[in-house]
Amino acid sequence: MTLFGTAGIRGPVTDVTPALALDVGRAAGEPGATFVVGRDGRETGPALAAAMEAGLESAGADVYRLGQVPTPALAYASQGRRGVMITASHNPPTDNGIKLFADGVEYDRDAERAIEDAVAADDDGLATWELWGESGRLEILEEYRDSVADYVRYQFAASSGAEADTGRPLAGLSIAVDCGNGMGSVATPHVLERLGAEVVALNANVDGHFTARESKPTPETLTDFIEFMATDSSGAASRNAEFDLGLAHDGDADRLVVLGPDGEVIHEDTVLAVVAEHYVSESDAGDPVVVTTPNASARIDERVREAGGRVERVRLGALHEGIARERAQGDEDTAVVFAAEPWKHIHAAFGGWIDGVASAAVVAALVADAGSTDALRAPVTERPYRKVSVDCPDDAKPDVMSALETELPEAFPDTAVDTDYGVRLEFDDASWVLVRPSGTEPYVRIYAESETVDDLIADARTVVESAVDDAN
């Protein structure tokens, strides 16, 4: 049985049912364990959370209910214990999901497979009646918001001058935040204001229908926010610098999208690159490491190398596993200072979870330090980037990818080849192409970044389509 994808269990509520939540809770719980359980604003959240709590308690675990919280706040609360978040993140309101944490870190593959095996075995998982767990309420939001703000104050105390000493490193910064009716509404504006920013929050009410826009923040779904950023205070359609930057979240506030003062969406890999460079530059480790994913741009490698660090990659959805691997393989000089895949960041010195709220505050502080978004991104070389999908039946994917491990390097000689997580080819000019199977849809994905990206995509697509045809 396969329940877990790259980001927990997720899907339509016809699949992610209270019965499934009950089964997962009974599989995850055990006598003596303590769990915190949170949920996002979706209409189906209360029923799924209640079923999860029943499963955990009947297996012997004690449960603290957090209510509606951002996923990073749930992860924060799971430190020293375990946690379950009921969320479908950026999926539509018809979906929901389950993410499990242990001591602030998402369950790894082994832990997920143990849950799957227990659910498949149909073992009721019940503890004897006298060992059933207890439940209670835990308020975590205020502590979490304070902790994020304190972390950013500490991070920028040395570089941001006198304002940092007063606890206001964002003083003078004007920020627009599109919370997208999601859980960022209860965290990000509060943190930014505590750090001294002037904040205008849009769609900052929690609404499980996501009536303002789709939950996933993209240039296509953020059109109203982009227009808002690009108009002046009278509503005239002329660009101005009323806001220093814009920030947007998904439904559970683990993702972050950054906009410049003119409403331009700054490429997610550029954001990743500048944050990674900051952490490497500030680290006193002899071997500072940034963990990212195969689809992340070479611009990240360039900025990290310039700052004196190195980049290591891990499969999508497994940043926590990459962090653990590098820590285990490194020596006393090695430190994982940052981990990220596009849109989602782990601030290793703060915690082991993806945290869009902390990212919002860190990016804002970097903009304040640099003086503008343009100055912050200026050192980053931004080449054209594209992603396309090629139809491929799920059962053909293994044969297709096996063939491409040979055929792609033959089609693109004189490239550095990495086949750990798909097939990634890197060129001498820092262009690259990645081909990998989708984990959720009948596609093979092609990612490419190059000054001649259309030609590179076209050439790679020819090789991929030929491999698919041969496999069929």
Domain residue limits, the chain: 9-138, 143-266, 385-471
Confidence of residue 438 (pLDDT cuts 50, 70, 90): confident
Does domain 385-471 bear CATH number 3.30.310.50? yes
Say how far apart CA 234 and CA 362 lie, in whole Å: 30
Fold that domain 9-138 belongs to in CATH:
Alpha-D-Glucose-1,6-Bisphosphate; Chain A, domain 3 (3.40.120)
Confidence of residue 167 (pLDDT cuts 50, 70, 90): confident
How far are the Cα atoms of 115, 214, 247, 341, 378 from residue 225, in angstroms, in the given order?
Answer: 41, 12, 10, 24, 24
Is there a common fold for 9-138 and 143-266? yes
Catalytic residue IDs:
89
Predicted TM-score (pTM) of this structure: 0.91
CB-based contact 309:280 (threshold 8 Å): yes
Identify any residues that bridge with 37 across adjacent strands, giving them in sequence order.
Answer: 65, 84
Inform me whether the pLDDT recorded for 239 exceeds 50.
no
Question: Which residues, 6 or more positions from 127, have their beta carbon under 8 angstroms from its beta carbon?
Answer: 30, 31, 58, 59, 60, 133
Say how far apart CA 207 and CA 413 lie, in whole Å: 52
344-392 tens-digit pLDDT: 999 999 999 999 999 999 999 999 999 999 999 999 999 999 999 999 9
Does domain 143-266 bear CATH number 3.40.120.10? yes
Cα–Cα–Cα angle for 210, 83, 357, rounded to 5 degrees: 50
CB-based contact 202:176 (threshold 8 Å): yes
How far are the Cα atoms of 30, 119, 341 from residue 2, in angstroms, in the given order?
Answer: 22, 10, 23
141-158 tens-digit pLDDT: 999 999 999 999 999 985
**Token code pair at residue 415:** 């490239």
Confidence of residue 101 (pLDDT cuts 50, 70, 90): very high
